Amino acid sequence: MTTQIRADLHVHTTYSNDSLITPKDLIYYAKKNGLNAVAVTDHNYLTGAIKIAKETKDFLVIPGMEISSSNGHIVALNINKPIPRNLPAIETVERIHTAGGIAIACHPYVYIKGSLKNAVCNAFDAIEVINARAFPFQKSIKKARDAAEKFNLPQVAGTDAHYGPQIGYGYTTIDAKEPTIEAVTQAILHGHCQPHGQQVPFILNLQQQTQRLQRMVNKIALKLKS
């Protein structure tokens, strides 16, 4: 018997300073958008994810981090210590394994974000073939799928959400032995997973930018007052 997990494997919270998603928003939107698990993958920061995972009792939170390697971004899930940034991709993957986690080549072929491109190799445990905020969307999926097939790696999906309502546009279904962090990461490692998703609608990205701007203006106003 296995249990089906439906998880967005790439979400940033306010512990990443470019995200609007508070821990409360994270769980609220993950539930609202039909998920039963979510991975927290803040930029080069693990403590927040571990804290949220520990404090959330009624929903499965997989702690992780998105590491800026010198070759591009890498998502680590279920690691027991933070991985330093700016190391070569291959060394980053080795350190993720030593820290007990799995290494995902995230958005490997998109524009602007830190993409791994040629640094994708079979040392990774999976490839994020659908990143719901990728540009160009279809083309990046095709290239990532080709790479996953070439290296015979499991395929996963996530949103790369930075704003609550975006959560769940990219998600992975995982057949895990039980709904635990360890069982879910093991199931991904063994390829018992399927990527799903669609592009985040433009309006949600626009709302994200507007709210970020609003937050900056509020901060400045508060500073001027004091």
Q: Shortest distance, CB of residue 131 to Zn ion, whole angstroms?
A: 8
Residue from the set 8, 25, 42, 66 that interacts with Zn ion by CB under 5 A: 66
Which is nearer to Zn ion, 83 or 176 (by Cβ)?
Answer: 83
Q: Is 42 in the site for Zn ion (CB under 5 A)?
A: no
Residue from the set 95, 113, 143, 192 that interacts with Zn ion by CB under 5 A: 113
Query: Quick one: which segment of 18-26, 71-79, 164-172, 213-221 binds Zn ion (CB under 5 A)?
Result: 71-79
Residue 72: which residues within 8 A CB-CB, separation 6 or more? 89, 108, 114, 115, 116, 117, 119
Strand order in the sheet with 3-11: 155-158, 126-131, 102-105, 72-77, 60-69, 37-43, 3-11, 170-176, 193-197
- In the region spanning residues 130 to 189, those forming contacts with Zn ion, defined by CB under 5 A, are 160
Which is nearer to Zn ion, 8 or 160 (by Cβ)?
Answer: 160
Q: Applying CB under 5 A, which residues contact Zn ion? A: 66, 73, 113, 160
